[in-house]
Amino acid sequence: MCSGRIDASFVLRAFSKGADGVFIGACHLGECNYMTHGNFQTLSMVSLFKKIMEFVGINPERLKMAFMSGSEAGVYTESVNDFTGKVKTLGALGSSEGLGEDELKSRLEAVERFIPYIKLVKKDKLALRLDEEEQYDRLFTKEEVEALFKEAVTYRIDPEKCRACMICLRKCPVGAIAGGKNLTHTIDQDACIKCGTCFEACPPRFGAIEKISGETLPPPFPENPGNKREVRNGQDASGQL
């Protein structure tokens, strides 16, 4: 297993389960002992994830990737001590960002639902291998991530047009389509990963599946998220008066 095996969902899971920071230690860039060079892949995942964290109002400094070799104990301890010190000054995840427990949870869950979709639409960019570490900082932009969430597609089955033929239902990779023979199909939006397989699969003569852009229900996040504490409806976002 290589650091390139670290999935965005692992990082997300750590935050969801209460970690205040996530540290990824990987080999030095360009020094792969094999020909995998998977740490570049990790780096691009991390750079995207940081932008997502920023977008959902979590301080991106809570995620850190550092490079070291197996013999560099000093580098490791220094990086870990720096990072734990940093996380301590940042304070607990959520409350320090002005997010209440439920709000944090719902935001993280929203991100979790988006991970498959992000992997799909950004697959070419995520597979890129750039020369320099700094280039990865610029690989994904804030606007891009915003667009990703706000203009995400939604697939819906028009009950009028659906002939309950089971084609899309069988092809859905995550089993998100309910229904049966002669029972109109519906997409479980919570389970749907927006891969479009159903859209491609629905016979053109039926054309029962609609692809809607930018009208996700409900919109995942309030406007203008940030690291600052926000006050809404007379309460701050952590839910305290």
Partner 1 sequence: MEGEPGAFKVRLTKKPKYILEDKCTGCTTCVENCPVTYPDVFNQRISRNKAIHIYFPQAIPLVAYIDESCLYLKEKKCRICAAVCKNGAIDFNQRPRKKEINVGAIILAPGMETFDPQPGSEYHYKEFANVITSLDFERLLSSTGPFQGETLRPSDGKHPEKIAWIQCVGSRRILPGANTYCSAVCCTYTQKQVILTKDHSPEAECTVFHNDIRAYGKDFERYFEKAEGLPGVRFIRSFVSVEKENPENGNITLRYATADEGVKEEEFEMVVLSVGLNAPSDSRTIAAKFGIELESHGFCMSDPLNPVKTSRPGIFISGAFQGPVDIPESVFGASGAGSLAGELLNSRRGGLSKTRAYPPERDVCGEAPRIGVFVCHCGANIGRIVNVPSVVDYALSLPNVVYAREQLFSCATNSAREISDLVKEKGLNRVVVAACSPRTLEPLFRDTLREAGINQYFFEMANIREHCSWVHSKEKEKATRKAKDIVRMSVARAGLLEPLREYDLPVDKSALVVGGGIAGMSCALSIANQGHDVYLLEKDRELGGMARKLHYTLEGLDVQACVSDLIQKVHRHQRVHVYTEAQITDAKGYVGNFTTTAKSARGPVQIRHGATVIAIGADLHRPTEYLYGQDPRVLTQLELEQKIAQSDPGVLQCRGLAMIQCVGCRQKDRNYCSRICCGNAVKNALKFRQMNPQADIYIFFRDMRTYGFKEDYYREAAAKDIKFIRYEPAEKPVIEAATEEGRPVLRISAPDPVLGVNLALDVDLVALSAAVIPSAQTAEIAGLFKVSLSPDGFFKEAHVKLRPVDFGTDGVYLCGAAHYPKFIRETVSQACGAAGRVLALLSNDTVVASGSVCEVQEDRCIACGACISVCSYGAIEFKTTPKGRKATVNPVLCKGDGLCNTKCATNAIQLKHFTDEELLNEIDAVLISG
3-state secondary structure of 24: strand
Q: Which is nearer to partner 1, 86 or 171 (CB)?
A: 171
Q: Which is nearer to partner 1, 25 or 236 (CB)?
A: 25
Range in contact with partner 1 (rule: CB under 8 A) among 112-120, 160-168, 216-224, 229-237: 112-120
- State which of positions 201-240 bind partner 1 (CB under 8 A): none
Q: How far apart are CA 154 and CA 195, in angstroms?
A: 10
Does position 124 interact with partner 1 (CB under 8 A)? The reply is yes
Does position 178 interact with partner 1 (CB under 8 A)? The reply is no
- Enter the tokens of residue 143: 């606007």
Beta carbon of residue 115, minimum distance to partner 1 (angstroms, whole number):
8
Does position 81 interact with partner 1 (CB under 8 A)? The reply is no
Q: Which is nearer to partner 1, 11 or 157 (CB)?
A: 11
Of these, 116, 166, 189, 227, which contacts partner 1 (CB under 8 A)? 116
Beta carbon of residue 229, minimum distance to partner 1 (angstroms, whole number):
25
Does position 71 interact with partner 1 (CB under 8 A)? The reply is yes
Q: Which residues contact 9 (CB under 8 A, 6 or more apart)?
A: 112, 115
Residue 60, preceding peptide bond in cis (omega within 30° of 0): no
Range in contact with partner 1 (rule: CB under 8 A) among 28-36, 49-57, 102-110, 132-140: 28-36
C-beta of residue 108 within 8 angstroms of C-beta of residue 225 = no
Range in contact with partner 1 (rule: CB under 8 A) among 5-13, 56-64, 98-106, 146-154: 5-13
Q: How far apart are CA 21 and CA 147, in angstroms?
A: 26
Q: Which is nearer to partner 1, 120 or 212 (CB)?
A: 120
- State which of positions 127-146 bind partner 1 (CB under 8 A): 127
Long-range contacts (CB closer than 8 Å, 24 or more residues apart) made by 149-153: 149/55, 149/114, 149/216, 149/220, 149/221, 150/214, 150/216, 150/219, 151/213, 151/214, 152/114, 152/117, 152/194, 152/213, 152/214, 152/216, 153/194, 153/196, 153/211, 153/212, 153/213
Integer distance in angstroms from the first to the last C-alpha of the chain?
48
Binding positions for partner 1, rule: CB under 8 A: 1-2, 4-10, 13-14, 17-19, 33-38, 41, 45, 71-75, 77, 116-117, 119-120, 123-124, 126-127, 171, 173-174, 193, 195, 197
